Amino acid sequence: MLYEQRQSGDGRAKQQRWRVLQLLSAMKSRLRDTFLEADARRGRVQEQKDVEMDKIEFADGDVPKVDADVHRRHLDQLTQELHVRKSMQEKQKDIKLKIA
């Protein structure tokens, strides 16, 4: 009797393992499909961006050239403005806490 119970228990365990393997295989397949679809979509979006960039026409006909120094100064200015904005937000939070 114990042998029969053990055999049926082993059979159920094997069936459960098989079912788990089937489910994992299906999940892996769906996950791969999801990544492939996402990759294909990224490719389509990039192609569309390239097409749109090719359509851009500048008034002078050529792509404007930007001086590296001017570009660096502009980035520095934007960075400084960001820090000022963040400090103002912190001050606002402090004021709101004092009021509350």
Of 6-10, 37-41, 75-79, the poorest mean pLDDT is in: 6-10
Q: Provide the 3-class DSSP secondary structure of residue 28.
A: helix
pLDDT tens digit sequence for 32-62: 999 999 999 999 999 999 888 878 776 666 6
DSSP 59: T
C-alpha closest to that of 48 among 58, 59, 40: 40
Q: Is the pLDDT of residue 80 over 80?
A: yes
The C-alpha atoms of residue 20 and residue 17 are separated, in whole angstroms, by: 5
User: 2 pLDDT exceeds 60?
Assistant: no
Q: Pinpoint the alpha helices (H) of the chain.
A: 2-55, 68-99
The verdict on pTM exceeding 0.75 is no
* Averaged pLDDT, 10-32: 90
Reported as a pLDDT band with limits 50, 70 and 90, residue 4 is: low
